[in-house]
Every structure is written in C-alpha cells, then in structure tokens.
Amino acid sequence: MAWDMTVGIVCPAPLEYQVCRDVLELSDEAELSGRLISTRCDETMKVVAVQSGPGKIQSASATQLVIDRFIPDIIIDVGGAGSLSVRVGIFDIVLAENVYEYDVCTMEEFPQLADDLTTGTILRDLSRKQRDILHRFMEKVKREKSIELVTGNIASGERNVKDGSLREALNTAFGAVACNWETSAVLKTGQRNGVKTMVFRVITDHAGMNMEKELKANWKNALMILYPVLGSFLFEGWLRRILAGSPSESEKR
C-alpha cells in the first residue's frame, strides 16, 4: 500500500496511547527502543502513534524516535490538559498556536529566554485560506458532535497547576488557555528537525485545587471525545486540505 503523507502522534501516558490506538484503529503494535508503537496505513496516509511516557524528557526522545524512524510530515501532540481560562471548559479541545515552556525560569526572567522557550505550531502561520478550512472543520465538529474546538496558547511545564495565583499568572503572561507537561518538548523537537507540528489537547480539569480529582474522573471520557475528532481530522482529509490550502469539491459548492 502506498501513501504520500506520514503523521506521527505522541501520546504521553499509557491511557492516552491505549485509547488513541483503539479509537483510531491502529494495529501492528510493536516495541521500538522500549516504547510501544502502532500504525494505520490507508490509501494515502500512514499514521504512527507512540507511547512516550509522561514528562518532557520522555516525550522529546519519543518524538525524535518517530522522526528518525518514520520521517513524518507532521507531528501531533495529544493528551489531556488543564483549563486556564473561563472560556475553555472540561471536554473542550484546544488546538495550540503557541506553546510557552514556563518551568525553566521565573516569570520575570522569561522575556530574556522567550525565543528559546516559545514554540509555534502550523496554526501560527496559516494563510487566510488555510485558516478558513480549519474553521470549517471546527464548525463541523461543533454542529455534528456538540464539541467545542478552541484555538489558543498553551503553557507547558512539569508542574501541576493547583493554585489560582499560578493559573492567573500563566493566563495573563502568555494568554494561555490550557496547561500540560509535555507539549513544549514535542513541539521543540519537531522544530529542531524542521518537522511541522500540531496540538490536540482535551480539557480534563480546571487546573485548581481539585485538579487531581477532576483528572481522575474525566480523563478517559475526555480522551474518548478527543480521538474521534482527531480521527475525522486525519482520515476525512482535513489535515491534507489545510496543508494544501485547498477546500474539497463539496466545500467549493
């Protein structure tokens, strides 16, 4: 079977990988360099998902493994996230534009290191035509599945956001609508290799005092919302049309 696009998906936690594998109907699971990897090959697209393990170090090395072994056209960071904004609720899906690695230095020191600690996805550089196609996908998901897709910034660092002061500081400093541990590592690795990146993160908690309780209660259900949307984005041709900057024939009509 031939394909002309390869997509790498980096799943930090075992649950995030397992649900991704099952929902996207990936197969041929194997262990590669100590990590589980599964694939799906359609007529024109190969999708490879890797279970990286949580945290930035494991996610960065897993991303590099996928890049070196499978030469993907794009890497997609997936998983759960905490909400940093009242406009983003539990089970909403965040498509990141910029990601800020906030745990390397103090907030006051960040401006001096901003270039190294900020990474953008393809959303940051979409043309008007490409952005219109993305918005049509977002509207379709909302109309057909009642799921909100939100574009915005993410604060990424290996520190659970459990108090209101940090939550407010990240939202104010970066305009971040969500937070998680790994996204900055996945995106920075992609950037260093010249590989395009995207982020699909589903909100599992409100990044507050009840963060751990909410995560435990919502995690699997949130992933069961996330991956069908990602599957539609990939296998119904939306990613391909966005990268090409051209709508489908039905959209033209």
Ranges of each domain in the chain:
5-245
Interatomic CA distance for residues 52 and 180, integer angstroms: 15
Interaxial angle between packed helices 56-70 and 183-192, expressed in degrees from 0 to 180 and rounded to the nearest 10: 40
Q: Where are the alpha helices (DSSP H) in 29-109?
A: 56-70
Q: Tell me, yes or no, if the pTM score tops 0.85.
A: yes
pLDDT one-digit tens code per residue, 27-51? 999 999 999 999 999 888 999 999 9
Enter the tokens of residue 242: 């966005």
Mean pLDDT to the nearest integer, 168-179: 95
Q: Which amino acid is at 33?
A: S
| pLDDT of 120 | 97
More confident residue, 160 or 90: 90
CB 68 within 8 A of CB 194: no
What is the architecture of the domain spanning 5-245?
3-Layer(aba) Sandwich (3.40)
